[in-house]
Amino acid sequence: MLAKIPKQFYYFLAAYFILNLIQSALTELIFDEAYYWYYSQKLAWGYFDHPPMVAFLIKLSSFFFNGELGVRFLSCVISAANLIVLWLLIDNPKKKNHIPHFFLLVFSMTLLNAYGFFTLPDTPLLFFTSCFLLTYKYFLKTPRLTSGILLGVCMAALMYSKYHAVLVIVFVLFSNLSLVKNRYAWLSVGVALLCYSPHFYWLFENDFVSIKYHLYERPNDAYNFEKYTLGFFVNLIAIFGLTFPFIYYALLKTKGKDLFNRALLFLTYGVILFFFISSFNRRVQTQWIIVICIPLAILVFNYMLTNKGTMKWIVRLGIVNAVLILYLRAGLIYQPLLFNFYYESHGNKEWVNGIKDEVGEIPVVFENSYRNAPMYEFYTGGIPTFSLNNVMYRKNQYSIDSSEERVRGKKVAYLSKYINDNSFSYTKSDGWTYKGKYIGDFNSFRKLECLLEEDNIKLGTSGYNLKVVNPYDFNIELSKLKFSVAYLTPYKNTIGLKSVKPSPAKEGIAFLPKNDTVNFTLDIPPFKKQKVGYVRIVISENGLYPGLNGKPIPVE
């Protein structure tokens, strides 16, 4: 199959691969990449925000290179492999005469281009979507044991990449409901579930923390048409750039003439419809819809081969797109090309070194920044960091792993915007200022849990039963803890705090025993400044700002 690919294709592919390698080596990490690099330092079957595929790719990359390329190398490899798979998915024999047009089409797709070198969960998602579609295509021709097993493996790889992958699988299934009668299709489901079982077990062991966060605990805002729904349509344009009118025109003109084309159409329209509906509830991030680039690359290129007018305009606008993209890619490396605009890949080494010059080799605790903590650790070569997440922020990987123990009892540099007595500060090139101070014996207890058994809370009511769980292997003195009620909007954004003093159910309790639970009686004070949708019980330890100890509970 690969032997039938023309040499010219490999020439273009080599140029694409080399360009991405150069870009990867010369571009500083963006914050999400640093966060996923932090994942990879301790491989697991799951992480707070995502399944483990992105961490696995980074770990493999680190065996080949150091630095930024040690994070991105496998992304360059699989993005190049992705173009081969896309090429194999196109059956039209005319394609051999239009290899430059194919590369121009995919290169001009803005986010598909960016994920050619950035290492993010969407990078393997795109690759395994292509692999899944190729396997499904051959499954339609010859449904048998081997194709069923391979289809199951591809589905599992998709789900290991990103939870959004479920949309790919579901919409392809909807395009061909007769699959429910196919024993080999059921075999593929069984294989997928078997391969995915380690992640299911990880979710179970971690109280389904990822699912709960994404579905129930993520903060939101009131609906805003411009920000949400109009922003969704802007994203549909942004992922294709100037070629978008002809991309969507080709989509509208394509008919589901066979089961595979029907799958591509269902996948594209299904994802668009799903996130259009979602836009009435929350802001849809651009990368959430990026998966439509895969079916559209196939559908649009097939349409170009039979419609010279569309091909002409996509080529013209694609060239402009490609030039702009190359310019922007150069700007990722050299900021002055982007004028006064600072992107995430600019100045990270500079601010990291600036802080390190101040604090030296001691660990650094960043309050409310799962972005800065791993970036600092990466560019200092492994100085321990920790993200201390408080009630004004959200939980992340630092909330569930053992990173808190790396800084416990040590002298740390503590950076936070909640500091009023800072002993040093550092201002980044983009104007952001870090305020810091030194803490000689740092101790936080952010894994303490505050559990209220009620399904809803009535403000100004007394006598609630509060359970405080101490998961640590040491006792914690109650004198070190201060309890508060955090008041949240109906969209789970914190709007206020009130101190409370829970009464222990048993007299004489002076500490929280290790690996144990203590019962308290708690009164919930009223809050009249703003409408309250939820409350959560939180704890401040050793004078630190309160954490995220309790779950949001609806207010009556």
Q: Strand 364-367 vs strand 412-415: parallel, antiparallel, or unpaired?
A: parallel
- Alpha-carbon distance 414 to 434, whole Å? 10
- pLDDT in the model for residue 4: 86
Q: What sign for the dihedral angle of Cα 122, 327, 85, 3?
A: negative
- Alpha-carbon distance 444 to 465, whole Å? 25
The DSSP line for 125-153 is HHHHHHHHHHHHHHHHH--SHHHHHHHHH
466 in Cβ contact with 502 (< 8 Å) = yes
- Alpha-carbon distance 261 to 265, whole Å? 6
Compute the CA torsion angle 326, 329, 330, 336 (nearest 10 deg): 120
Residue 35 belongs to some domain of the structure: no
Domain that holds residue 140: 2-27+68-207+224-328
Among 270, 267, 251, residue whose Cα is nearest residue 259: 267
Residue 337 belongs to some domain of the structure: no
Q: Which residue has the tokens 């040499």?
A: 7
Residue 340 belongs to some domain of the structure: no
- Alpha-carbon distance 327 to 322, whole Å? 9
- Alpha-carbon distance 382 to 363, whole Å? 10
Q: Strand 364-367 vs strand 385-388: parallel, antiparallel, or unpaired?
A: parallel
Residues 428 and 475 in one domain: no
Which pair of tokens denotes residue 514? 């290790």
User: Is residue 500 helix, strand or coil?
Assistant: strand
pTM of the shown model: 0.94
Residue 37 belongs to some domain of the structure: no
Residues 353 and 322 in one domain: no
Residues 127 and 257 in one domain: yes
Identify the burial level of 216 via C-beta atoms within 10 angstroms of its C-beta, where 0-12 means exposed, 13-18 middle and 19 or more buried.
Answer: exposed
Question: What distance lies between CA 547 and its chain's CA centroid?
Answer: 22
Beta bridge partners of 412: 439
Alpha helices in 254-307 (DSSP H): 259-278, 293-306
Residues 322 and 453 in one domain: no
CA-based R_g, the chain, Å = 26
- Last residue of one domain, picked from the residues 278, 296, 328: 328
Residue 214 belongs to some domain of the structure: no
Q: Which residues of the chain have pLDDT under 50?
A: none
Residue 338 belongs to some domain of the structure: no
Among 478, 479, 452, residue whose Cα is nearest residue 467: 452
Residues 465 and 360 in one domain: no
Residue 58 belongs to some domain of the structure: no
Q: Which residue has the tokens 């173009």?
A: 83
271 in Cβ contact with 291 (< 8 Å) = yes
Residues 186 and 116 in one domain: yes
Residues 432 and 459 in one domain: no
Cβ partners under 8 Å of residue 277, min gap 6? none
Residue 59 belongs to some domain of the structure: no
Which pair of tokens denotes residue 236? 């549909």
**Count: domains in the chain:** 3
Residues 405 and 510 in one domain: no
Q: What is the domain-level CATH number for residue 471?
A: 2.60.40
- Last residue of one domain, picked from the residues 295, 328, 361: 328
Among 68, 73, 64, 60, residue whose Cα is nearest residue 17: 73
- Last residue of one domain, picked from the residues 382, 416, 439: 439
458 in Cβ contact with 554 (< 8 Å) = no
User: Is residue 225 helix, strand or coil?
Assistant: coil
Residues 274 and 369 in one domain: no
Residues 135 and 201 in one domain: yes
Residues 367 and 253 in one domain: no
- pLDDT in the model for residue 2: 67
Residues 311 and 419 in one domain: no
